[in-house]
């Protein structure tokens, strides 16, 4: 009888140990930003929304409630953590939540973000504030990030193509170079 109980206890202990190890690894990977089951790409990093409907959840699985829904394709978000196929993202307002990886794109996008919501950002013909002003962009204008020098970024969108000072964009890190 003791032998059977012993075997049963060993099997249960092994199952419990495996479950605890799995939980520990999952918790560690969420904190550390990745493990073998994640993308292997650097965290944090900027990406964009791939579809016009992106559910953001309170945790990294479909059992968590949808906290809100993005409805703008191409909006830049920052990946701050990875857990299996889920990515914790932060938007330009600082709000965070979890998104399934296939709803995100590696395409670099940026949004004009100014201190004054009524101000305009000059879009220059070349990366020089003495060059011709090609357009004036309002806060919230979205464009494709083509390149960045570390101080200037080329932004292309509907009806515009030019250079902005990098610090007037959200979707690129300060001093980051993009080719």
Q: Are residues 88 and 118 in the same domain?
A: no
pLDDT range class, residue 116, cuts 50, 70, 90: confident
Split into its structural domains, the chain has a count of 2
Mean pLDDT across the stretch 97-123?
95
Q: Are residues 73 and 59 in the same domain?
A: yes
12 in a domain, yes or no?
A: no
136 in a domain, yes or no?
A: yes
pLDDT range class, residue 127, cuts 50, 70, 90: very high
Mean pLDDT across the stretch 74-89?
98
Q: Are residues 114 and 103 in the same domain?
A: no
Which of the residue ranges 9-13, 28-32, 91-95, 162-166 would you say has the lowest mean pLDDT? 9-13
**Pair of tokens at residue 166:** 């990098």
Angle at Cα 139 formed by Cα 133 and Cα 143, nearest 5°?
70
57 in a domain, yes or no?
A: yes
C-alpha pair distances (Å), 84 with each of 27, 60, 111, 115? 11, 8, 28, 36
CA–CA dist 154, 163 (Å, integer): 4
Q: Are residues 158 and 145 in the same domain?
A: yes
Mean pLDDT across the stretch 106-113?
97
pLDDT range class, residue 7, cuts 50, 70, 90: very low
**Pair of tokens at residue 93:** 């307002």
Which domain covers residue 115, as residue numbers?
A: 110-170
pLDDT at 12 over 80: no
CATH of the domain at 71: 2.30.30.40
pLDDT range class, residue 118, cuts 50, 70, 90: confident
CA–CA dist 73, 38 (Å, integer): 24
pLDDT at 163: 98
Q: What value does the mean pLDDT of the chain take?
A: 84
CA–CA dist 173, 170 (Å, integer): 8
Question: What H or E segment, with its residue span, contains residue 148?
Answer: strand 142-148
10 in a domain, yes or no?
A: no
Q: Are residues 127 and 92 in the same domain?
A: no
124 in a domain, yes or no?
A: yes
């Amino acid at each position: 009888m003791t032998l059977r109980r012993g075997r049963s206890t060993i099997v249960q202990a092994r199952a419990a140990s495996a479950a605890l190890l799995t939980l520990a690894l999952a918790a560690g990977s969420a904190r550390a930003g990745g493990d073998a089951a994640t993308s292997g790409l650097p965290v944090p990093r900027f990406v964009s929304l791939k579809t016009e409907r992106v559910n953001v959840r309170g945790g990294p699985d479909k059992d968590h409630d949808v906290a809100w829904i993005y409805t703008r394709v191409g909006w830049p978000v920052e990946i701050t953590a990875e857990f299996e196929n889920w990515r914790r993202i932060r938007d330009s307002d600082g709000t965070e939540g979890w998104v399934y990886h296939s709803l995100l794109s590696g395409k670099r996008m940026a949004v004009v973000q100014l201190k004054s919501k009524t101000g305009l950002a000059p879009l220059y013909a070349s990366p020089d504030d003495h060059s011709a002003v090609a357009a004036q962009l309002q806060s919230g204008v979205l464009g494709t990030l083509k390149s960045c020098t570390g101080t200037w970024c080329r932004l292309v969108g509907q009806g515009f193509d030019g250079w902005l000072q990098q610090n007037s964009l959200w979707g690129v890190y300060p001093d980051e170079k993009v080719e």
